[in-house]
Structure 1
Amino acid sequence: MIRDRGTIKWVSMMLPEHTKLLRELEKNQHRASKPLLDEQRLEELNEMIHIGIAGNQTLSFSYYQNHAINNVEGNIHFIDHINKTVRIIDLVEKIHDVQLVNIVDIQPL
């Protein structure tokens, strides 16, 4: 039976610059890109934010930050119109400030 060692057999012939570039390439492949939202979807998100504020409803937020999609569940505490952020207090009383342009999805719980 033939056992393939993958990239291990080629590492001895590579320059350190090549191995560094290969590691960076592999790391960048796992990054998520920011989804583009159309105008209708932005209106739906705006409506969900207003419903969450008016009814003090717990919502599930998905937002883009640091090349990844993060999730937080909680209530909207404050909307900062100047800095365009939403302050969310999650279920364990931790505060999250999320940029409005980075919000990808909002779902009621």
Structure 2
Amino acid sequence: MDVMKSGSLESFARSVVDNVVSAIALQDLCAVHSVGMLALLDQLAGHIARGYSTDVWSFADADAAMNHLWAFLCSQKDFEIPSYFYSVYEAFDAGEYCHSGGAQDVSPEERYTKPLIEAILGSS
């Protein structure tokens, strides 16, 4: 896979917007970056969050990528959830739907995701 030869977080993250996560490709990326899977998932989450906060990534693409990474993680036997990854996943998840009692004149993305991502990035 050409994506893996470059070792690019951006290329890999973009590849999972519309596709399921390849375990082999993810393991190859871990090897390229000399990190374990949990550390790489945190790096990918941070990369996606930074891309979203700078308008390089749309909400739809960032949310889709995080959902595919989440689905992959949950499909693994005895999986662990990296805390940073989970906080980014939750921030995008919060923007997917209108919350009960929430103002209907503001999109969930604007009300929840944007401030959560800014807080996450500000604390890292």
* Pairwise same-fold verdict (TM > 0.5): no
Structure exhibiting the larger radius of gyration computed from Cα positions: 1
Query: Which of the two has greater helix per residue?
Result: 2
Structure with greater contact order relative to length (CA < 8 Å, sep ≥ 6): 2
TM-score (norm. length: structure 2): 0.21
